[in-house]
Amino acid sequence: MKLTKLEHAALVLEDSGRKLFVDPGSFTTAITDGAQADAIVVTHEHPDHWTPEQLERIRSKSPDVRIFGPQGFATAAAGFDVEVVAAGDTIEVGPFRLEFFGSKHNVIHSSIPVVDNVGVLINGSVYYGGDSYTVPEGVEVDVMAVPAGAPWLKIGDVMDYVLTVKPRRSFPTHEMVLAKAGKEMANTRITWATKQNGGTFFPLAPGDTLDI
C-alpha cells in the first residue's frame, strides 16, 4: 500500500491499483486523478475537509465510489449518497478495511458548535483522527497522520496525543494554516514526541509518499 499526502488534511491510499481518498477539502488542490477510487472517507463536515466540488471530481472518474462519514457530514452533504459511520463500525471496501473511532470534533470555542467527527484506521495500519485527539484504543498504530496546525490545537496537546498513541511512524497533516516557520516548529515537536517511543517522523510535504 502507498500513502500520498495531499495538501492540508487530504490523503490518498493506493492498494492493488485501487484508491481511497480521505478528507479532500477546500485547502486541497483540485483532485484530477480520481479514477479507480473505491471510497472517500470524510472525517467531519467542515469545508477544509470536503467540498461538493472535490467529491464530484472524484465521482466523475469513479461513479461507483462509496462515501463514508459521520451523521453531521451526511446531513451537510445531502446531495451525496453518504454511508453514515460511527465508532465501532468496520467496513470492507475493495482492498481497504476501514475501522472508525470517536464521535466529536475537538472544541474550538464555547461559542462554536461541536460537530460530529470520526477517526479512521485503514488496513489496520494508517490512523487519522480527523479534528480530534481520539486514541484508537487497543491498536498498535504503524503510521499516524498527526495534526500540526488548527484553531482547536495546542502543540503541547498534540505532543501528548502522539505520546499516547505511540505510532511506529508519523507525519504531519492539517498544516495549510501554518507558515513555513510554523510548519518547521510543529514538525520539530512532533518529531520529539514520536521518537520518545522509538518511532520515526517523516516530514511529508504535499505530493510526498510513504510505503506502508
Q: How far apart are CA 44 and CA 197, in angstroms?
A: 30
pLDDT digits (tens, 9 = 90+) for 75-100: 999 999 999 999 999 999 999 999 99
Question: Each residue of 99-147: pLDDT tens digit?
Answer: 999 999 999 999 999 999 999 999 999 999 999 999 999 999 999 999 9
The pLDDT of residue 122 is 98
pLDDT at 191: 98
* Mean pLDDT, rounded, for 198-205: 98
Joined together, the cell numbers standing for residue 116 give 460530529
Q: How confident is the model at residue 172 (pLDDT cuts 50, 70, 90)?
A: very high
| Helix, strand or coil, per DSSP, at residue 45 | coil
Measured from the Cβ of residue 178, the count of other Cβ atoms closer than 10 Å reads 17
Grid coordinates 472518474 are at which residue? 61
pLDDT at 70: 98
Residue 189 in 3-state DSSP? helix
Banded pLDDT at 197 (limits 50, 70, 90): very high
Grid cell, residue 45, equals 463536515
11 and 2 Cβ atoms separated by less than 8 Å: no
- Packing angle between helix 155-165 and helix 180-195, nearest 10 degrees? 30
Q: Strand (E) positions, the chain?
A: 2-5, 11-15, 18-22, 37-41, 66-69, 82-84, 90-93, 96-101, 119-122, 126-128, 143-147, 169-173, 200-201, 209-211
Q: What is the mean pLDDT of residues 181-209?
A: 98
The grid coordinates of residue 38 equal: 473505491
| The dihedral sign for the CA sequence 178, 75, 144, 210 | negative
Closest CA to 117 of 159, 85, 141, 154: 85
CA 199 to chain centre: 19
